[in-house]
Amino acid sequence: MKRIGKLLLSLLLILLAIIGFWVYQRYDPFDKIGKNEKVLQPEIETTGIPEHYLAAAEGDIADEVEEYRSSWRIHFFNVGQGDAILIQDENFNILIDGGDRNSGIIDELKTLAVDTLHWVIATHPHADHIAGLIDVLQTFPVINVLDPGVDHSSRIYGNYRELVNAGAISYTRGFAGWSYSFTDDFAMEVIHPDTLTQYDINNSSIVIRMQLGSTYALLTGDAEHEAENAILASGFDIDSDIIKVGHHGSKTSSSNEFIAAVSPEWGIILCGEDNKYNFPHAEALAVYQANQTSLFQSDTHGDVLLLVGDSTYEAFPEFTGIFVPDALPAPLRVNINSAGIDSLTLIVNVGDVTAKRIIENRPFKSLDDLSRVKGLGLARIAAIKEQGVAMVTD
């Protein structure tokens, strides 16, 4: 009997181990809420401007609130080291990236009383852009998803792709030239990547130019110089009032030639406080300084809300403070007789090819002497002088 008892006990333990292993294999930590399950939202009255924006704004902004109530709102969320942007009007919610896991994006969306996302756009498969979208796809009804269709081997990307493919979501692979109009004056156009060239993951980022009335916003994901050069060569109109600074302000993005073509008045850098990459880099900040672009930084200003009217826009940061350009070193100057290619490309109208020609034609006695460089005519030299970055010393 004792032997039989021990045998039965052993069999029971084996059975329990098998059941435990089966449960473990089937458990998906991401599968908490059904993708299309409606989430009850708190009953809150909202003007579209969260209280922390109103508290931080100086003076009475009641007039601005009323003016923009029926127009557009762009929320640049402070989600740490990652990107998350929400664009809204009275009828549509468009989320671009969701930050990393535990980014707080769900709380941000609930605070704004979002109940449906009409478009979710994943710019590329890195975790600091799509991991938060897993929670989003499990929490809110999502109608459309747009991404570049780039595969990635990570488990996070695999979970994201399973959620996109699992239900009634309409999926679109974004490529240059694809566009979508919400209304006559509210539209988005993908200007990168093209469908013919294979890029690395960052340079495969979907780059979108949003039209909001007469205001344009360029949203660049983690696009780097390779993608920027491809966009410049494509002939797309990229002139924009607002830019989401590429790759969190990395020096691998925001070439002077590209930013000069965009000519943004405002730029928003989304980066984490004391991040291990030291974003934003001084080289990128110098480009925006040279192009007279005012910057907000999420690690300094928190969430940044842009209210966009038919022909104007205003910014309301969560935390007021000095714009980044005011904290930069002394004005940037580049000696054309000694600078390397990277520094020379900070000069307006000077790309990599022109920079090499400048080096080949040294020395120069004055900026006017740049006329010896192929591709630099009188008009371009005049613009170089006006920018005030180039200088000549022995």
Say whether both 218 and 358 belong to one domain. Answer: no
Distance (Å, whole) CA 328 – CA 34:
47
Say whether both 387 and 241 belong to one domain. Answer: no
| Number of Cβ atoms within 10 Å of the Cβ of 361 | 15
Residue that wins the pLDDT comparison between 173 and 332: 173
Say whether both 294 and 383 belong to one domain. Answer: no
Say whether both 285 and 351 belong to one domain. Answer: no
Residues 174-197 have pLDDT tens digits of 999 999 999 999 999 999 999 766
pLDDT at residue 345, as a whole number = 81
93 and 116 in contact (C-beta within 8 Å)? yes
Residues 77-103 have pLDDT tens digits of 999 999 999 999 989 999 999 999 989
* 133 lies in some domain: yes
Domain end, chosen from 327, 347, 376, is at 327
Percent of the chain with pLDDT over 70: 78
| Number of Cβ atoms within 10 Å of the Cβ of 261 | 17
Domain count of the chain?
2
Say whether both 113 and 174 belong to one domain. Answer: yes
Residues 203-244 have pLDDT tens digits of 999 999 999 999 999 999 999 999 999 999 999 999 999 999
pLDDT at residue 17, as a whole number = 60
Q: Read off the CATH number of the domain in which 355 is found.
A: 1.10.150.320
Q: What is the DSSP string of 290-304?
A: HTT-EEEEHHHH-SE
Residue-wise burial string across 310-319, b where 16 or more C-beta atoms lie within 10 A, e elsewhere? eeebebbbbe
Instruction: Verify cis geometry, omega within 30 degrees of 0, for the bond prior to 363.
Output: yes
Distance (Å, whole) CA 191 – CA 179:
9
Identity of the residue numbered 361: N
Q: Which long-range contacts (CB under 8 A, 24 or more apart) does 275-278 make?
A: 275/81, 275/248, 275/299, 277/81, 277/248, 277/250
* 162 lies in some domain: yes
Say whether both 198 and 302 belong to one domain. Answer: yes
Say whether both 301 and 351 belong to one domain. Answer: no
pLDDT at residue 13, as a whole number = 62
**3-state SS assignment for residue 189:** strand
Cα dihedral 322/327/330/332 (nearest 10): -90
* 46 lies in some domain: no
Q: How far is CA 375 from the centre of its chain?
A: 33
Percent of the chain with pLDDT over 90: 57
pLDDT at residue 296, as a whole number = 92
Q: How far is CA 255 from CA 200, 267, 377, in A?
A: 18, 14, 21
Say whether both 236 and 361 belong to one domain. Answer: no
* 350 lies in some domain: yes
* 115 lies in some domain: yes
296 and 266 in contact (C-beta within 8 Å)? yes
Say whether both 76 and 219 belong to one domain. Answer: yes
Q: Read off the CATH number of the domain in which 220 is found.
A: 3.60.15.10
Q: Is the pLDDT of residue 286 over 60?
A: yes
Q: Is the pLDDT of residue 33 over 90?
A: no
pTM for the model stands at: 0.71
* 38 lies in some domain: no
* 10 lies in some domain: no
* 317 lies in some domain: yes
Find the domain containing 243 and state its range. 51-327
Say whether both 279 and 360 belong to one domain. Answer: no
Say whether both 207 and 90 belong to one domain. Answer: yes
Say whether both 117 and 227 belong to one domain. Answer: yes
Q: What is the DSSP string of 120-134?
A: EE--SS-HHHHHHHH
Residues 292-318 have pLDDT tens digits of 899 999 998 999 999 898 778 888 888
| Number of Cβ atoms within 10 Å of the Cβ of 353 | 12
Domain end, chosen from 327, 344, 361, is at 327
Question: Which residues, including other chains, have CB under 8 Å from residue 15's CB and lie 6 or more apart?
Answer: none
Q: Is the pLDDT of residue 105 over 50?
A: yes
Q: What is the DSSP string of 220-289?
A: -TT--HHHHHHHHHHT-----SEEE-GGGG-TTS--HHHHHHH--SEEEE---TT-TT-PSPHHHHHHHH
Domain end, chosen from 280, 312, 327, is at 327
